[in-house]
């Protein structure tokens, strides 16, 4: 069962369901963890009340986050510390650090292999970190400013965007080599895919669109442009993109347009633009798909969208420059 297909949470979730490792993982604490890039903290929200319950000092420039296998710990990329921090969820504090990882931004945990795949923004590489050995065991060269990391469901490939090179790389995890470089629209950022992974959606920030790559031919087969009414084209800068578990609906954070686009995946049509805070980048769907959490980098808050009514029902002030939301449910 894959109720959602979010790059960050799913892999850990699938595994935890599989192993039934911890009773907590079945229900979860109902907490949401928000990494604040400039605030150097994680803000903790209670999703039942949508109120901030506390703030955890973590490290410098926390960005990407993911769970360990039993969801007792959160890995967090500490961009300005060249490290991956480890937060203990029960203790609510940073308990450990994996050092010597150059400018980490986004990553995914591969619990099956005990590895973590992380983009090194300043080093033009994808690093493979062995979690038991606590060190980088391989680096794979990429285009400039790698960012979005997507681990395929079979765990065999990592897809990686290189923002400044307008490239998507497909990397073989086992052989640790690049299998394909795909030229996409300007400034590619993040990925999402339907459950069958026949296609890969990649947001192209400066092109103002999402490119759809056919994963068999490895070519861009279609693009979806965005242009909400009353917004200039240059304000449309898509970053995060997520898809519902049934692969029917995609949400795209439109950055400078201050909106989230709701897209009918089959018809390739924008259904609605939902107004959120300023410069939305990060998107996280709740497991039951009823809520979409949106981090707004320029207004230091999180918008919460009700995915049935497609309205923003709440906005919660968090720390400075929120980057990503991780849900414990």
Interior CA angle at 283 toward 191 and 37, to 5°? 100
Contact between 181 and other proteins per CB under 8 A? yes
Between 47 and 166, whose beta carbon lies closer to other proteins?
Answer: 166
Contact between 216 and other proteins per CB under 8 A? yes
Among 29, 72, 152, 315, binds other proteins (CB under 8 A): 152
Q: Taking the CB of residue 20, how many other CB atoms lie within 10 A of it?
A: 10
Tell me, rounded to whole angstroms, the distance of Cα 159 from its chain centroid: 13
Between 1 and 174, whose beta carbon lies closer to other proteins?
Answer: 174
Site string for other proteins, 255-294 (x = CB under 8 A): -x--------------------------------------
Rounded Cα gap, residues 234 and 173, in angstroms: 37
- Least separation in angstroms between residue 143's CB and other proteins is 3
Q: Which tokens hold the place of 216?
A: 């068999």
Site string for other proteins, 131-150 (x = CB under 8 A): ----------xxxxx-----
Contact between 46 and other proteins per CB under 8 A? no
Q: Taking the CB of residue 268, how many other CB atoms lie within 10 A of it?
A: 13
Between 96 and 141, whose beta carbon lies closer to other proteins?
Answer: 141
Among 122, 130, 246, 306, binds other proteins (CB under 8 A): 122
The span of 42-50, 51-59, 127-135, 169-177 binding other proteins (CB under 8 A) equals 169-177
Instruction: Report the SS3 class of residue 193.
Output: coil
Contact between 163 and other proteins per CB under 8 A? yes
> 65 vs 3, 76, 85, 222, 318, CA distance in Å?
20, 4, 9, 30, 16
Between 28 and 155, whose beta carbon lies closer to other proteins?
Answer: 155
Between 189 and 291, whose beta carbon lies closer to other proteins?
Answer: 189
- Least separation in angstroms between residue 199's CB and other proteins is 9
User: Comparing C-alpha atoms, which of 71, 77, 43, 75 is closest to residue 57?
Assistant: 43
Contact between 164 and other proteins per CB under 8 A? yes
* Contacts (Cβ under 8 Å, ≥6 apart) of 309: none
CB 135 within 8 A of CB 154: no
Match 């981090």 to its residue by tokens.
295
Rounded Cα gap, residues 232 and 219, in angstroms: 29
Between 51 and 156, whose beta carbon lies closer to other proteins?
Answer: 156
Site string for other proteins, 288-307 (x = CB under 8 A): --------------------
Match 């923004």 to its residue by tokens.
121
Between 73 and 169, whose beta carbon lies closer to other proteins?
Answer: 169
The torsion angles phi and psi of 165, rounded to 5 degrees, stand at -110, 0
CB 302 within 8 A of CB 36: no
Rounded Cα gap, residues 53 and 198, in angstroms: 40
Between 12 and 255, whose beta carbon lies closer to other proteins?
Answer: 255
Contact between 179 and other proteins per CB under 8 A? yes
DSSP structure class, residue 81: G
Contact between 223 and other proteins per CB under 8 A? no
- Least separation in angstroms between residue 181's CB and other proteins is 3
The span of 51-59, 65-73, 92-100, 193-201 binding other proteins (CB under 8 A) equals 193-201
Contact between 166 and other proteins per CB under 8 A? yes
* 131, containing H or E segment: none
User: Comparing C-alpha atoms, which of 8, 34, 31 is closest to residue 321?
Assistant: 34
* 266, containing H or E segment: none
Where do contacts with other proteins occur on this chain (CB under 8 A)? Answer: 121-122, 124, 141-145, 152, 154, 157, 162-167, 169-170, 172, 179-183, 186-187, 196-198, 206-207, 215-218, 232, 234, 237, 256
């Amino acid at each position: 069962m894959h109720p959602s297909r979010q790059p960050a949470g799913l892999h850990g979730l699938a595994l935890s369901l599989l192993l039934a490792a911890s009773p907590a993982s079945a229900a979860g604490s109902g907490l949401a963890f928000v990494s604040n890039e400039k605030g150097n903290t994680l803000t903790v929200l209670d999703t039942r009340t949508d109120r901030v319950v506390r703030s955890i000092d973590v490290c410098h420039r926390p960005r990407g986050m993911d769970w360990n296998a039993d969801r007792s710990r959160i890995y967090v990329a500490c961009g300005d510390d060249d490290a991956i921090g480890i937060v203990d969820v029960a203790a609510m504090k940073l308990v450990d650090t994996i050092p010597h990882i150059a400018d980490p931004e986004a990553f995914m945990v591969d619990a099956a292999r005990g590895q973590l795949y992380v983009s090194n923004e300043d080093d033009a590489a994808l690093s493979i970190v062995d979690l038991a050995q606590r060190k980088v065991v391989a680096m794979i060269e990429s285009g400039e400013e790698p960012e979005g990391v997507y681990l395929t469901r079979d765990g065999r490939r990592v897809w990686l965007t290189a923002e400044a090179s307008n490239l998507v790389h497909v990397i073989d995890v086992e052989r640790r080599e690049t299998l394909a470089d795909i030229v996409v629209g300007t400034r590619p950022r993040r990925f999402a895919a339907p459950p069958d992974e026949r296609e890969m959606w990649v947001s192209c920030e400066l092109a103002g669109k999402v490119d759809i790559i056919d994963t068999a031919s490895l070519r861009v087969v279609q693009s979806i442009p965005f242009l909400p009414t009353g917004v200039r084209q240059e304000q449309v800068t898509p970053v995060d993109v997520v898809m519902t578990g049934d692969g029917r609906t995609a949400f795209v954070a439109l950055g400078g347009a201050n909106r989230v686009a709701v897209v009918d995946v089959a018809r390739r049509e924008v259904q609605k633009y939902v107004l959120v805070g300023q410069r939305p980048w990060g998107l996280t769907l709740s497991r039951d798909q009823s809520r979409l959490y949106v981090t707004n980098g320029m207004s230091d808050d999180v918008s919460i969208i009700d995915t049935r009514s497609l309205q923003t029902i709440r906005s919660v002030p968090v720390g400075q420059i929120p980057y990503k939301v991780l849900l414990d449910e």
